[in-house]
Amino acid sequence: MRIEPEQMWSYFEWLFYHYGLLQGVLVAVALAALGFIACYLISMARYGPGEGFYHVTRVIYELLARDLPRTSMRRIYALGRLAFQEAIRRRVLVVMAVFIVGVLFAGWFLDPSSDNVARLYISFVMTGTSYLVLLLGLFLSCFSLPADIKSKTIQTITTKPVRCTEIVIGRILGFTAVGTLLLAGMAFLSYQFVSRGINHEHEVKDMASDGMSGTTSYDAKHQHQFELIENEDGSMGGTTDEQKGHRHEVVVRDVDGQRVVTLGKPEGLLGARIPVFGSLQITDRSGNVGSGLNVGYESEYQKYIEGNSLMSAIWTFDGVYPGRFGGGDSLPLELSLKAFRTYKGDIVTGVQGEIILKNPDGRVESERRGFVVKEFAVDHIEIPRKISGSRDGQPVEVDIFDDLVSEDGQLQVVVRCKDNGQYFGMAQPDLYLRAGDSTFGWNMFKGFLGIWMQMVLVICLGVMFSTFLSGPVAMVATMTCLMLGFFGNLALDVATGDLPGGGPIESLIRMPLQTGAMVDLDLGNEVLETVIKGADQGIMYTLVSVFQAIPRFGQFNTADFVAYGFNISGGLVARHLTMTLAYFLLTSLIAYFFLKTRELAAA
């Protein structure tokens, strides 16, 4: 799973430190200014400069002085209920039937022998739900209002004491209520499907002669090994080894004087671990701060450090105190590093590394704890609270929370690669401290809440476009925003100039000339080249502004967090809710102006 840096920010870090509030205000002001200019130009062409300005300002005055203050929640509820009933009459419940059929036949296509069957099931149900709900919101929001305008049904509403603000908000809330009802049913069925789909049982197949170890039966495409240990109270028990991401508890009972060994349900498949992320700093071969090595991997997401050198990856964590980690008897640490090999060598032994815990002041550090990197898996390491270490170069026993954690709660974790000619690759989220676990059901609810917010954004855009476009055109416009919101990174890279080749005009010139993108454009006329590049910059600046105004639908999708067992932080949920509310207010305002200026016969 790839966790982006912005997904680790707290709510207030995003809002103030990373200028989330400022960017939102700038986008709103830019759209307001652009909308005012566009409306004035259209009104000026129709009525003249003075009369056109009067018409535009009159609409703004009516919004601020009449429509907003006199907006009635009772009328919004009535219009929302009508929209809800209209959607039910359109047989939207067919979406739920399609989802149920998909779940019933999912077992034919999902491979139960997968390395992590829970991840497979969760990804399936959440991805399928997202597609169905987004299509539902798309068709509901884009065709309802244009159909009423075309059939003149809207006249029966506008002749009543109903305001445009109430029509827009009522439609959005009514369609959202329908989608919420269906999404709640899908979420409940998804939880039951995942919980029952991963459940399986094993029986004890073979026991060793001493009765302290054995092998389970081969069920669900795997089997386990286990060993029994004697507890302090004299009872026997244990756990199996880990297979396909889970274990089973081994229970020993005395039944009629005979020892019976049974295995419990699978454990570890459905989790929501709470990570504590730190800041990452990489040192170069001289031990100074560097940027890491590039080994030719296409993505710049991870950087590499060289083995058997002074290159290190140093994570600095804040807020490290015993109560945050289950009382502080140990420090749970998890890492998922990449290994890059320059030679194969021993194919059995993995690439070796070492972990060092340090106080940020540099005086106290722990002993070097060796490990073998687990590629494509999460390695869980429990470091005991009291370990061997050194203080000012002298060997002593150190306490992690008393000696290695600074007074302001900071702790440094240093990772190095020991093998010569081998490399470790890591990104900031690839090593974290595990501060307990949240419940899977609550985490899955937050994942479906992200899908709900995507649906609300689609409904808001669809209602906005439907106030001035026909149904099919509004659907195309909404789908365009949806595609750019999901897959607009490439388009944004082109618009910002991060990709070579220039803007659209320069690219059109390069194609017939067969000029490569890495070669400077040479037309033999510097003035013409300057004009072309200037026009491209204007076009690309406009495209960047449009892309930044479109919701980034992909960032609302937190299905990977649920599938890979990461808790979705409250700060991330709060950020997404804030953005959803902001887009709701913005699109409602734009829809109001378009609906207000439409030439309705009974307006």
Do 34 and 154 lie in one domain? The reply is yes
Angle at 499 between CA 493 and CA 503, to 5 degrees: 85
524 occurs within a structural domain: no
Name the residue with higher pLDDT: 114 or 561.
561
In the block, residue with structure tokens 């199996």: 240
Maximum average pLDDT range among 47-51, 138-142, 341-345, 449-453:
449-453
Q: pTM value?
A: 0.88
Confidence of residue 601 (pLDDT cuts 50, 70, 90): very low
Q: Of the residues 267, 287, 322, which one is the last residue of a structural domain?
A: 267
Do 481 and 588 lie in one domain? The reply is yes
Q: Of the residues 221, 238, 267, which one is the last residue of a structural domain?
A: 267
Residues 8/572, Cβ–Cβ less than 8 Å:
no
Q: What is the DSSP string of 2-37?
A: ---GGGG--HHIIIIIT-HHHHHHHHHHHHHHHHHH
Neighbours of 112 (CB within 10 A): 15
188 occurs within a structural domain: yes
The number of folded domains in the chain is 3
pLDDT of residue 490: 66
Do 166 and 303 lie in one domain? The reply is no
pLDDT of residue 152: 66
Do 220 and 282 lie in one domain? The reply is no
Which residues does residue 432 pair with via DSSP β-bridges, in sequence order?
A: 277, 334
76 occurs within a structural domain: yes
pLDDT of residue 50: 85
pLDDT of residue 496: 64
Do 410 and 300 lie in one domain? The reply is yes
584 occurs within a structural domain: yes
The answer to whether residue 508 scores a pLDDT higher than 70 is yes
Do 62 and 141 lie in one domain? The reply is yes
Take residue 249 and report the two structure tokens written for it: 């508890």
Give φ, ψ of 202 to 5 degrees. -125, 155
pLDDT of residue 599: 46
Do 117 and 75 lie in one domain? The reply is yes
In the block, residue with structure tokens 């949920």: 573
Domain of residue 346: give its range. 276-437
Confidence of residue 600 (pLDDT cuts 50, 70, 90): very low
When pLDDT is averaged across residues 455-468 and rounded to a whole number, the result is 92
Do 262 and 311 lie in one domain? The reply is no
CATH number of the CATH domain containing 403: 2.60.120
> pLDDT by residue (tens digit) across 54-113?
888 888 888 888 888 888 899 899 889 988 988 888 888 888 888 888 888 887 778 777
513 occurs within a structural domain: no
535 occurs within a structural domain: no
360 occurs within a structural domain: yes
Do 24 and 130 lie in one domain? The reply is yes
Do 182 and 35 lie in one domain? The reply is yes
Do 72 and 185 lie in one domain? The reply is yes
Minimum mean pLDDT range among 28-37, 435-444, 460-469: 28-37
Residues 404/359, Cβ–Cβ less than 8 Å:
yes
516 occurs within a structural domain: no
Q: Of the residues 219, 238, 267, which one is the last residue of a structural domain?
A: 267
Find all residues with CB under 8 Å of 130, minimum gap 6, and list them.
Answer: 451, 454, 557, 559
48-83 as b/e, with b when 16 or more CB fall inside 10 Å?
Answer: eeeebeebbeebeeebeeebeeeeeeebbebbbeeb
Do 23 and 146 lie in one domain? The reply is yes
Q: What is the DSSP string of 75-112?
A: HHHHHHHHHHHHHHHTTTTHHHHHHHHHHHTGGGTS-T
